[in-house]
Structure 1
Amino acid sequence: MISTEIHLVRHPEGEPSLSDFRLVETPLPPLRDDQVLVRNRCFALAAVMRTLMSGADIGMPLGTYRPGHALFGSALGEVVDAGDAGVTGLRAGDLVMHHYGWRDYVVESAARFRPVPADTLPDPALHLNQGLTAYTGLVRVAAIRPGDTVFVSGAAGAVGTMAGQIARLKGAGRVIGSAGSAAKLGLLTDRLGYDAAFDYHDTPVADRLREAAPDGIDVYFDNVGGEQLAAAVELARPGARFALCGALRDQLGGTSAAVAVDPVEMIGKRLTLAGFHVADHRDLQGPWLEDFGGWLRDGLIEVPQTVVSGLQAAPGALLSLLRGEYAGMVVVSVPEQ
C-alpha cells in the first residue's frame, strides 16, 4: 500500500517557498501486532511549523522537520486496519487523534493514537482546534479570576481566537486583543467578544495598549513576544500573571523577539511569567472537552476556521498562513482516494 506524503526538501533560508516542499509516494510497511493503519481525514496547520522548518530545537515532543522526511502535525484520522484488536484496543472505523499529519495514510503503534470520544463535539474536526492550549494558559498557568483585564497578543490566530472567548466565559471583566489588519480587528470585536482590539503595526504598542486598558492588565496571554511582551510588562498591574505560549514575531520570520524588560519593574510589580507547553497538562483534556462541548451546544463559543482541500494544497496554505492571510484555525481536508 502507498502513502502520499508532503516532505521537506530543505531548511529554508529566509522566507519559505513552494520549492521547499515535495509530494512523495512512500510504500507502507506491513502491520505488526501492535500497529494500526490510519487514513487521515484532516490535519491542522500552525505558525509554529515555520520554526520547525528551520530545524531549530524548541522542545517539541516529535522534534523538528528534517529534509527528506514527511512533515507532521495534529491530525484526525480513521482506523482502517486495527491489526490485532486484542493488542491495539482499536477497531476499524474508530476516529483517532495523532501527530502524523501531512500524509493520507500512516502505520504506527496503536499507543501513538488517541481515540476520539463519541459525540463529544458536533464535528469531530473541531478536535483539531487549539482551544486546549488557550484553556491551559488561562485556567492553569495564568489562573484567570473573575473581573480580570486580559490582554491576548496575536488574537486573530488559532489560539488567540479561542483565548479571548475562553477568558470571557471564565469571567474576565475586560478582554483586549492585538491583530494585524482591520478585518481581523473587526472579527475580534464584532464576533468573538473582545472589548477592544488594536493593530500591533500602530506603534508604540504600549500606547495602544494603554488606550485599551487605561487601568492596566491582570493577565497577559502571549502568542507573540517582542514589543508586545514589553508593553504588557509596562501596563501590568501588581501581581499580574503572564502565560507565555508562542513567539510569532520569530515564527513568522520577524526580527528577534528578545526585548529589554526591566527586572526591577517585574520584581516590584510581583509579576509571574511562565512558559508552558500543552503536552505537560494533558489532565486538562477532560475538563476542556466538557466545557468546550457545553459552550458549543449553548452557542456561546465560535471556532473561526478555513478549510483547504487536498494534500497538494497544504504547502501553499501554510505559506498563506505565515503571511497572515487567515484568521482562526486552518485545516487541510484529505479526500479519500
Structure 2
Amino acid sequence: MGVIKDDTLLKVNDLEVSFFTHAGEVKAVRKVSYDLKYGEAMGIVGESGSGKSVSSYALMGIIPEPGKILNGSINFEDKDITKLSEAEMLKLRGKEVGMIFQDPMTSLNPVFTVGSQIDESLKKHTNLDKKEREKRIIELFELVGINQPEKRLKQYPHEFSGGMRQRVMIAMALACNPKLLIADEPTTALDVTIQAQIIELLKELKEKINMSIIFITHDLGVISEICDKVAVMYAGNIIERGSIDDIFYNPKHPYTLGLLKSIPKINADEHERLIPIEGNPVDLINPPKGCAFAPRCDYCMNICMEKVPPVYSVEKGHESSCWLLVKEEFEREVKAL
C-alpha cells in the first residue's frame, strides 16, 4: 500500500508576534493557529490593527523592526519557516511563496521599468536566459490581462493606472509559480469594477495552477467571492473560523455578526442605516484580562471580563471563542435533564 501524501501545504501553530516599542510590548499576534491545503483559499478578515497583515509578514519572514516572532511554528511543506536563515528565506520568498502588497505604487520602484522589476525575481529564482525571461514576463502580463505586453514591460509604474499596477504586482508575485500567494488587501484602493476584475483573475489563477491563497481584507463581501474558508481576527487572535457558509449564514461570535451588519445590502431600504460596531479596538500593549471584544460587546457577561473564552466547536470545521456558546450549551444540558 502506497504512502498517502498529506494535502496540507501550510500549518501555523500558536504564532506570537510582538513589537517592542518605547511605550511597551505591542502583542500584535497572539497564539494564532490555522492550516491551509493545496489549492485552498482562506480569507483573514478583521478591522485595522487586528493582526491580519502582521501574521502574513511572519509567513514571508519580513516582520519589520522592532517586531519579533516570539513563539510558535510556521510549517510550509513540513519546513518550519521560523527556523530558516535569511539566505534560506530568500530562496523561499518569491519562489515558493508570493505576496501582493497593499499599495502597488509604494511597492513598485518608480525608477525602474515594471519589466525589469519582474525580471529581477526571475533572474534570482530561475535558470532562464534573457530571451526566455522576457518571454515569461510577456506570458505573465497576458495572464493577468495587461494588453500590449511587449510595450508595457518597458514602461514605468507611473505610466500605469491603479488597477494595472495591481495587475503588475500580481504578475510579479506569480512569476515563479508559487505554491502559496498571500494577497494583502489587494483591492482596497480600487474602484468596484476593477475590484471585481482582480477577484475574478485570482479565482481563475487558483484553478489554473492549483495555487493556495491567503486573502487578507477588512471586507467580508470581497472574500465571499474567492475563499473556501474564513478566519475572523480581533486583537491578534482568531476568534471565529469556518467555511464561507458558516461565517455568512451561521455566525457565532458577536464581532463576526457586527462585521456582517456593517456591510451594505443590495436589497436594503433607501434610507436604511448601516450598523457600526461601537467603541474602539483594544490597546494591545495592555490587552484585556478576559475576552478582548468584551468592552464593545452587546452581550457581555461578567465572565467575559474575567476569563478568556475557550475555543468552542460549533460543528466540524466551525469554531468560535465566545462564552455565549458555553452558556447556550449549559442551558441545553439543563433542559435535557
Structure with larger Rg: 2
- Give TM-score scaled by structure 2 length: 0.24
- Give TM-score scaled by structure 1 length: 0.24
